[in-house]
Structure formats: C-alpha cells, structure tokens
Chains A and B, each alone.
Chain A
C-alpha cells in the first residue's frame, strides 16, 4: 500500500527565514516516484519536482532544494530565504509504475504562511 505522511499541518515563518517541509512515504514497490506540488490560494496544483526511486541525488532549484533519503523514506523540501509568495499549501505525493494503477497518492499537505 502507498502512503504519504506530512506531519506538519501548518508552519509559519517570517520572511527571509529558511523552512523545511517534511515528507515520509511508504511503499512496497521498488520503482516509485516522488513529487512535490504547490497549491496557492488560487487553487491550482503547481508541479515543483519529481524524483524516481533510483536517483537519490539531492536537487537545488533557486531557493528550493530537496533531500531524498531512501534509508529513512523521506523526501524533504527546503525553501531558503522564504518570501510571501511562497505562502501556499504544499503536497508531497507518491506514485509507482504499476500497470493500470499508477495514480498519485497525496499527503495531507502542509500549509506554509510566510509573514512579511
């Protein structure tokens, strides 16, 4: 069974602070994919990153970075020097390459509020 846990329901930080959003996943599949999505107040789901289970290389994209550790089944997301525009709900999600059953499983989301 697939499961994604985002233990942090809500986080508030002051602008320019760094913040890390935690994501822990469970799966029995050996090939799987992890994603982060951002959902701003306007409601759309914005794709941020995907990672496959064979690639544990960490990634940095501007102020965003991701730390994938298979040993702890975690895929954490860090925003450096946060900005007000980062305020949103962030979802971690998991999928596996199974025939006919490769839908996304979402965590419950973390609501990030960046205070100016």
Chain B
C-alpha cells in the first residue's frame, strides 16, 4: 500500500540558508500535517492543510511557510535557518472525517543546520 512519501530523507544546510521539504500524502488523503521533532523531544505540530487551504497552525516560526498544491502534495519552506531548526520533520496525512482511522506518517526528513 502506498505510504506518505517525504523528500529528502536527509538534508544538511548552513545557517541562514533556505530549505524546502516535500511531502506526498497517501492517495485520496486530503489533509496534510507537518510536525517538528527536536532531539529527545516529542513531535510538535507546525501546520496543517485541508483541500489546499491552511486549516490549523501550531508553533511554526514566521521564517517557515508551507502550502499544499493541487495534487495535494505539500512543501515546507524554511528560510534564514538557525542551528535550533535542526530536527526531524514529519509529514502525516489523513482524510477529513476519518480521523478515527488515524494518521499515517512519512519516514521524516532529518534536517541538520551547521
């Protein structure tokens, strides 16, 4: 069965650079969520999209932006990277009205800022 695809798996950037993370949800899933997990931390909700519109916003820095495209894939854009942005970034997808069936997570993108 198709899963949530995230790319790249690993990314190394320097401070003040920009990074773009991509997420391809499970087919027919219309909602995408982004989470950030710092070292030794639990995943923190950043932002979500439903039908290409932002549906909820968590602790996402102003330096970050995201969008969902017509094919439902989503991109998380991160600018002016800081050392503290080093984390595992997860994308998850679900289908609205079917939260009871759970969220499927991608394998994550490990971002290292040096």
Q: What is A's interface to B at a CB cutoff of 8 Å? A: 33, 35, 37, 43-45, 47, 50, 52, 91, 95-97, 100-109
Contact = CB atoms under 8 A, between A and B. Distances in A.
B43 A91 contact: yes
Interface residues of B, number: 28
Given A33-B99, A43-B88, A45-B90, A104 B56 contact: no
Main secondary structure on B side of the interface with A: strand
Contact of B107 (A33, A37, A43, A103): A43
B92 interface: yes
In order of increasing CB-CB distance, the 9 nearest A-B pairs are A106-B42, A45-B105, A100-B55, A103-B45, A44-B107, A50-B102, A108-B42, A101-B56, A102-B99
A35 B55 CA distance: 21
Contact of A95 (B43, B97, B99): B99
B48 A109 contact: no
B107 to A, nearest CB: 5
Nearest to B47: A103
Given A44-B108, A45-B90, A95-B99, A109 B42 contact: yes
B104 interface: yes
A43 to B, nearest CB: 6
A100 B56 contact: yes
Nearest to B107: A44
A89 B60 CA distance: 24
Nearest to A108: B42
B70 interface: no
B58 A103 contact: yes
Nearest to B88: A43
Interface string B72-114: 0000000000000000101010100101111111011010000
23 contacts: A33-B102, A37-B105, A43-B107, A43-B108, A44-B107, A45-B105, A47-B102, A47-B104, A50-B100, A50-B101, A50-B102, A52-B100, A95-B103, A101-B55, A102-B94, A103-B56, A103-B58, A104-B35, A104-B43, A104-B103, A106-B43, A108-B42, A109-B42
